[in-house]
C-alpha cells in the first residue's frame, strides 16, 4: 500500500482573484487539509478575526520575528508585511494534513524554494473586468488601492509561469473539484 | 428581432498553447466563422500550405506591403514577420461571418485598437510543463527555439491582462464549447 504524502498547497491569484474563497471551500470539504495562518502588519478587514484569518501583529513584532528567522516566506504587499511561520507549516504536516497557503506570488516563490515538494496553483480571473468587479464588490479598498491591485495583476500574471498548475476561477464548484483531484493524484503518487 | 453582429475574434496563447488547434476546431464546427489568413516571412512547417495556413511571402514583399499600409497589425515574432491584411478581415465581415485571428499578443494589441468591437481571448496552458511537452511533441523547433518560446511565455502571460476573456486550454472540447457560447452571447447583444 502506498503511503499518502502530505505537502504544502500554495494557492495564489491576483488580489480579488478569489484565492481565499477557494481555500475556504477546500477546507470546508476536507479534513486532511488545514490552513496556514499568516502573520501580517495590515489592519483586519471587517469580518476578519485575529488567530483565524491572520495573526495581526505590529511592525515592530514582525521585524523581531524576521531577525529570529521564524518565517519560511515573507513579503511586502501593497505596503503591508506578510509572513508564514515555518513552525506553523511543519506543525500541520506533522499531523498528517496538507497545509494550504493563500499567498501572493512573491511569497509563493520563497515557499517553493523552502518546500520543493509543494503543489503550487495559480488562479486567473475569468477576465480583468471580472477582477475589477470583484474588487469593487469587496468594498474594502479605495479607488487608488483598486487601481494599484489591477496594475499589479500584470506582474502577477507573469509570475504565474512559476506554478505547477494554472486554472481560471470561473465556476467555484468545478474549480474546487479539480483542485481536490490534483491534490489526491499527487498525494498517492 | 435583434440583428446578429459580426466581429473579429482574436485568439492568442503562448507558442505551443494550442491556439491553432482551437481555431481549427471552431472553424470545423461553425459556418459563420472564417479564418483570417495571415502573411508571414517564415518558412512553412511540414503540413502547412500556402494560401491555407498562411500566405508565405518574402521579406521584400512584406516590406513593400507595409509601406502600402496593407496591414491591420504586424509583428516580428521569433525573428519572423507576420501581418494581417485589413482587406482580408473586412472581406470576411462583409460576408456576415466572424473572422477568427490566431495571433501573438503584440499583433493582438494592434488589432484591438484597429477593431475595438473585437472579442479577444487568451488561452493559458494548464501548466508550463505541459506547454514544454507540447512544444517538444511538435518537433518543429530546436532546443534554443523551445527555450526562447518558454522564456517569452512570461511576457505573454503579462500581456493577457489586455484580453476580454481568459481561459485555460486543458479540455479541448469543453474549451471550444465555452468559446462558441461567448461568441453567440456577444453576437446577439
Q: A185-189: which pairs have CB atoms within 8 A and are 24 or more residues apart?
A: A186/A5, A186/A7, A186/A119, A187/A4, A187/A5, A187/A6, A187/A7, A187/A98, A188/A2, A188/A4, A188/A5, A189/A5
pTM of the model: 0.88
* Per-residue model confidence as pLDDT tens digits over A60-90: 999 999 999 999 999 887 789 999 999 999 9
Tell me, what's the pLDDT at A183? 97
Beta strand spans in A97-169 (E): 98-102, 119-124, 165-168
Tell me, what's the pLDDT at A1? 55
Domain boundaries, chain B: 8-187
Residue from the list A124, A128, A153 with its beta carbon closest to the beta carbon of B124: A124
Contacts B158 to A, Cβ<8 Å: 154-155, 157-158
Q: Are A108 and A162 in contact (CB under 8 A)?
A: yes
For residue B15, what is the DSSP state?
A: T
B166/A166 CB distance under 8 A: no
Q: How far is B149 from chain A (nearest CA, A)?
A: 12
Q: What are phi and psi of B183, to 5 degrees?
A: -60, -50
CA of A122: which chain B residue's CA is closest?
B127
* Per-residue model confidence as pLDDT tens digits over A40-56: 999 999 899 999 889 99
Tell me, what's the pLDDT at B95? 95
Tell me, what's the pLDDT at B1? 55
* Per-residue model confidence as pLDDT tens digits over B14-66: 988 889 899 999 999 999 999 998 899 999 998 999 998 899 999 999 999 99
Per-residue pLDDT of chain B (189 residues), as tens digits, is 568 899 999 999 998 888 989 999 999 999 999 999 889 999 999 899 999 889 999 999 999 999 999 999 998 877 899 999 999 999 999 999 999 999 889 889 999 999 999 999 999 999 999 999 999 988 778 899 899 999 999 999 999 999 999 999 999 999 999 999 999 999 988
Secondary-structure percent of chain B, ordered helix, strand, coil, rounded to 5: 45, 25, 30
For residue A6, what is the DSSP state?
A: -
In angstroms, rounded to a whole number, what is the distance separating the alpha carbons of residues A42 and B83?
Answer: 49
Kindly indicate the confidence band of residue A154, based on its pLDDT and cuts at 50, 70 and 90: very high
Tell me, what's the pLDDT at A27? 96
Tell me, what's the pLDDT at B78? 76
Q: Is the pLDDT of residue A2 over 70?
A: no
When the pLDDT of each residue in chain A is averaged and rounded to a whole number, the result is 93
Tell which of A118, A166, A170, A178 to mutate to test the B interface (max B CBs under 10 Å).
A166
Contacts A166 to B, Cβ<8 Å: 124-127, 168
ipTM over 0.95: no
What is the maximal distance between C-alpha atoms in chain A? 55
What is the CATH topology of the domain spanning A8-187? Rossmann fold (3.40.50)
Which residue has better confidence, A157 or B37? A157
B161/A154 CB distance under 8 A: yes
A158/B163 CB distance under 8 A: no
Query: What does B122-185 look like in DSSP terms, one character per residue?
Result: EEE-S-HHHHHHHHHHHT-S-HHHHHHHHHHHHHHHHHGGGSSEEEE-S-HHHHHHHHHHHHHH
Tell me, what's the pLDDT at A3? 80
* Per-residue model confidence as pLDDT tens digits over A99-116: 999 988 988 999 999 999
In angstroms, rounded to a whole number, what is the distance separating the alpha carbons of residues A166 and B35?
Answer: 28
Q: Are A93 and A187 in contact (CB under 8 A)?
A: no
Any bridge partners for residue A34, and if so which?
Answer: A99
Q: Are B73 and B107 in contact (CB under 8 A)?
A: yes
Tell me, what's the pLDDT at A75? 85
A166/B167 CB distance under 8 A: no
Q: How far is B48 from chain A (nearest CA, A)?
A: 30
Q: How far is A68 from chain B (nearest CA, A)?
A: 35
CA–chain centroid gap for A20, Å, is 7
Amino acid at each position: 500500500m502506498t503511503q499518502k504524502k502530505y505537502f504544502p498547497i500554495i494557492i495564489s491569484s491576483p488580489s480579488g482573484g478569489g484565492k481565499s474563497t477557494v481555500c475556504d471551500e477546500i477546507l470546508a470539504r476536507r479534513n486532511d487539509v488545514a490552513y496556514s495562518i499568516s502573520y501580517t502588519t495590515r489592519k483586519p478587514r471587517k469580518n476578519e478575526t485575529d488567530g483565524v484569518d491572520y495573526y495581526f501583529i505590529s511592525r515592530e513584532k514582525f521585524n523581531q520575528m524576521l531577525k529570529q528567522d521564524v518565517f519560511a516566506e515573507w513579503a511586502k504587499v501593497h505596503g503591508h508585511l506578510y509572513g508564514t511561520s515555518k513552525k506553523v507549516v511543519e506543525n500541520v504536516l506533522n499531523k498528517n494534513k496538507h497545509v494550504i497557503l493563500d499567498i501572493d506570488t512573491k511569497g509563493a516563490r520563497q515557499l517553493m524554494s523552502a518546500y520543493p515538494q509543494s503543489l503550487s496553483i495559480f488562479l486567473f480571473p475569468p477576465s480583468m473586468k471580472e477582477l475589477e468587479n470583484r474588487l469593487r464588490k469587496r468594498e474594502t479598498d479605495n479607488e487608488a488601492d483598486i487601481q494599484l491591485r489591477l496594475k499589479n495583476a500584470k506582474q502577477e500574471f507573469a509570475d504565474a509561469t512559476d506554478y505547477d498548475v494554472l486554472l481560471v476561477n470561473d465556476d467555484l464548484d468545478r474549480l474546487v473539484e479539480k483542485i481536490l483531484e490534483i491534490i489526491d493524484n499527487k498525494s498517492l503518487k
